[in-house]
């Protein structure tokens, strides 16, 4: 059955590299999924990032956390044809305008290191290269704060937005806003924003379960 499932494309957020997905990707690959962890171009230009993501993920499942989740939601909202998505705590623009305010304030005070600690918590560690470059973070923060979502079209496939029980309440408000766009939502116990490092096995379970729902739906439709 897994050979009929589209690849899973795991998308990282700002101040991180694809390495954040190592444990999740290994778990999903061990279950037999085709897992891909591309490195984003980090242009700070949403249109260019979406062109890149469409090249990577058309027809696939997009799995994202933080800024990677925001880009996945943007791709889904703008009509990139996906199998579906599992997106942990994306930004939702003016629907919850104060969502990224603490992160922006932290960056203004202490650069990427302060942003990473505020956004991801103690699990975050600075990584070499563009992930810890203040100039790159400046562009990315502006891009994510400027994103405005729209209603999810049928081409988005099955979209699940998750949020952590240990995250700030504003994250639950963002998930509620995503539900208003047409996404399913789920609260994840015991985690906050950096789910890929905090609970990789549990998140892999959520992804596998969501994809399995698609398989079951297709099987039911063919009866």
* pLDDT tens-digit series, residues 180-216: 999 999 999 999 999 999 999 999 999 999 999 876 5
In the predicted model, what is the mean pLDDT of residues 105-133?
90
pLDDT at 223: 31
Only one residue has tokens 């242009």, namely 43
pLDDT at 221: 38
In the predicted model, what is the mean pLDDT of residues 49-78?
98
CATH of the domain at 109: 3.40.50.1820
Q: How far apart are CA 90 and CA 102, in angstroms?
A: 15
Q: What's the pTM?
A: 0.94
Which segments of 80-127 does DSSP mark as H helices, in order? 101-120
How much of the chain exceeds pLDDT 70, in percent?
Answer: 95
Only one residue has tokens 């260019």, namely 48
- Number of domains observed in the structure of the chain: 1
In the predicted model, what is the mean pLDDT of residues 5-33?
96
Q: Quote the domain boundaries for residue 102.
A: 2-222
pLDDT at 109: 97
User: What confidence category does residue 132 fall into, taking pLDDT thresholds of 50, 70 and 90?
Assistant: confident
Nearest one of 40, 44, 41, 37 to 20, comparing CA atoms:
37
Nearest one of 59, 56, 77, 51 to 11, comparing CA atoms:
56
The number of beta carbons lying within 10 Å of the beta carbon of residue 88 is 30
For the cut 60, the answer to whether the pLDDT of residue 220 exceeds it is no
Collapse the DSSP code of 199 into the 3-class scheme (helix H, G, I; strand E, B; otherwise coil) and give the result: coil
**Mean pLDDT score across all residues of the chain:** 93
Structure tokens at 192: 């906050």
184-199 b/e with 16+ CB inside 10 Å = b?
A: bbeebeebbbbbbbbb
Structure tokens at 163: 């949020």
In the predicted model, what is the mean pLDDT of residues 151-180?
97
DSSP-derived letter for residue 192 is: -
Indicate the pairing of strand 35-36 with strand 61-65: unpaired
């Amino acid at each position: 059955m897994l050979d009929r499932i589209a690849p899973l494309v795991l998308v990282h957020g700002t101040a991180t590299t694809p390495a954040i997905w190592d444990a999740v990707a290994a778990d999903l690959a061990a279950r037999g999924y085709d897992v891909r962890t591309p490195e984003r171009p980090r242009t700070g230009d949403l249109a260019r990032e979406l062109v890149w993501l469409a090249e990577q993920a058309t027809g696939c499942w997009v799995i994202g956390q933080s800024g990677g989740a925001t880009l996945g939601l943007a791709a889904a909202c703008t009509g990139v044809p996906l199998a579906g998505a599992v997106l942990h705590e994306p930004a939702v623009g003016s629907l919850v305008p104060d969502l990224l305010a603490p992160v922006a304030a932290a960056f203004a005070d202490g650069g990427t290191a302060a942003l990473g600690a505020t956004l991801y918590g103690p699990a975050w560690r600075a990584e070499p290269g563009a992930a810890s470059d203040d100039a790159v973070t400046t562009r990315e923060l502006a891009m994510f704060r400027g994103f405005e979502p729209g209603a999810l079209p049928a081409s988005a496939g099955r979209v699940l937005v998750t949020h952590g029980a240990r995250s700030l309440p504003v994250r639950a408000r963002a998930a509620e806003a995503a539900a208003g766009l047409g996404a399913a939502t789920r609260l994840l116990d015991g985690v906050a924003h950096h789910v890929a490092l905090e609970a990789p096995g549990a998140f892999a379970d959520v992804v596998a379960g969501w994809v399995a729902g698609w398989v079951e739906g297709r099987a039911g439709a063919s009866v």
